[in-house]
């Protein structure tokens, strides 16, 4: 079943961080609600990334949460992750879909409707859209697109939009009102004094602000049941994703 959660925690593996402790804290609060995306620094070797991913996947499986792997799709396959996430400098979305297979969750980064639509047609299950706000955890990003940028993409695509970049609980309502289905965070949880409490605050903000109905969901031009499209799992879960 294709399940795309509304709260995505991306691992923070910068020096001095303890990603597994943060994942443990977040899972203790969110359980199966959480999606954990394993993301490592570009210069991290595959063995180190694999060992982290194995541990994250084990912890996710214990509570029924989903694990995705950023960029390195061979690791996603190796650890039996639910799927992966790719952006502009990674495998193209159609190639990523071929690697992961039809049943996997495949996220793609988009900042505008054209890129987002192309990614969906190429097989993306959801879009990571941002940076919505300024972020201190990734360098070299373009200017923040804000809720209005989310609105532009979300109104153009028939898959869930996950807002990313500078997300805090206070910013969640405007992003959901703009059409985001959920949010992805690094710093709001990893940088918090109490990651469990920070996770709880994000969950509360998401739950208190259900996403508005999206009549376009279910009409993906890229929907091809033979390929196991982004929408092939629609209707299987309470929210259709």
Ligand X SMILES: Cc1ncsc1CCOP(=O)(O)O
Of 52-60, 143-151, 155-163, 186-194: span binding ligand X (CB under 6 A):
186-194
Radius of gyration over every alpha carbon of the chain, rounded to an integer in angstroms: 16
Query: For the CA atoms of 17, 174, 142, 202, what is the dihedral angle to 10 degrees?
Result: 10
Of 6 and 39, nearer to ligand LCLJCK34 (C-beta) is 39
Q: How would you classify residue 235: left for phi > 0, otherwise alpha for psi between -120 and 50, otherwise beta?
A: left
* Distance in Å, CB of 126 to ligand LCLJCK34, minimum: 8
12 binds Mg ion (CB under 5 A): no
- In whole angstroms, give the CA distance from residue 101 to residue 121: 15
Least CB distance to ligand X at residue 207 (A): 19
Q: Which residues contact 96 (CB under 8 A, 6 or more apart)?
A: 73, 84, 86, 90, 106, 108, 123
164 contributes a contact to ligand X by CB under 6 A: yes
Considering beta carbons, is residue 70 or 232 the nearer one to Mg ion?
70
Coil/strand/helix, residue 143: coil
Given 4, 154, 162, 205, the residue binding ligand LCLJCK34 (CB under 6 A): 162
Query: Helix 146-154 vs helix 113-121: angle between axes, to the nearest 10 degrees?
Result: 40
- C-alpha 128/C-alpha 105 separation (Å) is 12
Distance of CA 159 to the CA centre of its chain: 12
Size, binding site for ligand LCLJCK34 by CB under 6 A = 17
**What residues from 91 to 110 belong to the interface with ligand X (CB under 6 A)?**
none
Examine residue 187 and tell whether it contacts ligand X (CB under 6 A). Answer: yes
| Residue with smaller CB distance to ligand X, 168 or 209 | 168
Residue 18 in marked binding region: no
Which residues of the shown chain bind ligand X in the complex (CB under 6 A)?
130-131, 135, 137-138, 141, 164-167, 185-188
Binding site for Mg ion (CB under 5 A): 71, 87, 90
Sequence ranges of the binding site: 37-41, 70-71, 90, 109, 135-138, 166
């Amino acid at each position: 079943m294709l399940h795309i959660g509304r709260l995505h925690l991306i691992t923070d593996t910068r020096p001095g961080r303890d990603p597994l402790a943060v994942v443990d804290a977040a899972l203790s609060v969110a359980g199966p609600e959480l999606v954990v995306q394993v993301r490592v620094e570009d210069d991290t070797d595959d063995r180190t990334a694999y060992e982290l991913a194995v541990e994250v996947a084990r912890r996710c499986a214990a509570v029924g949460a989903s694990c995705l792997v950023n960029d390195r799709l061979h690791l996603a396959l190796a650890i039996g992750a639910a799927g992966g996430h790719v952006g502009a400098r990674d495998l193209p979305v159609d190639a990523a879909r071929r690697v992961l297979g039809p049943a996997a969750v495949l996220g793609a980064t988009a900042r505008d409707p054209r890129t987002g639509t192309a990614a969906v047609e190429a097989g993306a299950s959801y879009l990571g859209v941002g940076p919505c706000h300024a972020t201190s955890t990734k360098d070299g990003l373009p200017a923040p697109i804000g809720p209005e940028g989310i609105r532009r993409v979300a109104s153009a695509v028939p898959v869930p939009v996950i807002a990313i970049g500078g997300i805090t609980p206070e910013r969640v309502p405007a992003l959901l009102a703009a059409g985001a289905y959920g949010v992805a965070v690094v710093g709001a949880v990893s940088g918090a004094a109490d990651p469990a409490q920070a996770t709880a605050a994000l969950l509360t903000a998401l739950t208190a602000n259900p996403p508005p109905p999206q009549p376009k969901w279910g009409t993906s031009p890229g929907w091809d049941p033979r390929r196991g499209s982004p929408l092939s799992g629609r209707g299987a879960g309470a929210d259709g994703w």
